[in-house]
Amino acid sequence: MTSSERRNTMTLEDISAYWRHLRCSGDQPNLHRVLESIKTIDTAFAGSAKILSHHLSHDAWCHLRDDLFDLLIASFSGYFLIYEEGSEVPKDWTAPWPNQGIVEFYPEQANRRSDVYRGDLRRLHPAICLSLRWCLADNRSTTRPQDFESFFNQIKTYETEDAAQEARNLLDRLFALCEDEAIKSKKIAHRRWWQICSEANGTNDKRLKNELKRQLSDLQMVWGAPS
């Protein structure tokens, strides 16, 4: 991943469009776009940008985040660690699989130790969770796309045409909701961006100025730069 790619973030509006493209086209995901999409959603709900998260449907955007995290693990080779809830010690192959916990995934192509992505085990697709269990039971903490063939088979296969159509309708509704929220919240975020920019320019307090700049950066990451 090049330094220029790292500077190109995915806004919420970009994410909703890209996620729909992936689900409808079946194209191979782009690692950079998937990573940046996950970072942006996390920032929208956990970073300084979370002051505007009440304008977003938490469940809908978490669904997108879960879907992207599943695709990240299944589509790219990497290294994973499993932690039982409340523990800071990763599980090894001799330990039982935890009922609740966290998976950390380090994409091989990210080339940076800090590029770690976390997800709740309970929110993983069952086929991905099962594949990770098999890998760990085999004393293996590395994965490759071939380990997740059952996952890709399941998301592409439906028992009936009615079930397939129902799934498409659900995706369409989810996309429409996220797209609408991304557009509407962007206008609010940009107004807030200009307010913070004015505060940053008007203060001589170094610490406050740096904090305001961080808030500007987070807002810009999630909603893009105002015109």
Confidence bin at 1 (pLDDT 50/70/90)? very low
Output the pLDDT for position 158: 67
Residues 150-172 pLDDT 10s:
998 887 776 677 777 777 788 88
CA distance 184 to 61: 15
Domain range for 162 is 3-223
Token pair, residue 156, equals 């592409």
Angle between helices 149-156 and 58-75 in degrees, nearest 10:
130
| Secondary structure (H, E, C), 148-197 | HHHHHHHHHCCCCHHHHHHHHHHHHHHHHHHHHHHHHHHHHHHHHHHHHH
Higher pLDDT, 24 or 4: 24
Query: Domain count of the chain?
Result: 1
Mean pLDDT of 65-80: 96
Confidence bin at 6 (pLDDT 50/70/90)? very low
**Model pTM score:** 0.88
Mean pLDDT of 64-81: 96
Question: Do the strands 142-143 and 117-120 form a parallel or antiparallel pair, or are they unpaired?
Answer: unpaired
The one-letter amino acid code at 85 reads E
Output the pLDDT for position 5: 40
Residues 179-205 pLDDT 10s:
999 999 999 999 999 999 999 999 999
| Secondary structure (H, E, C), 55-106 | HCCHHHHHHHHHHHHHHHHHHCCEEEEEEECCCCCECCCCCCCCCCEEEEEE
Confidence bin at 72 (pLDDT 50/70/90)? very high
What is the strand order of the sheet 117-120 is part of? 117-120, 101-107, 78-84, 142-143
> Is there a contact between 67 and 60 (Cβ–Cβ < 8 Å)?
no
Token pair, residue 113, equals 């130790």
Output the pLDDT for position 170: 83
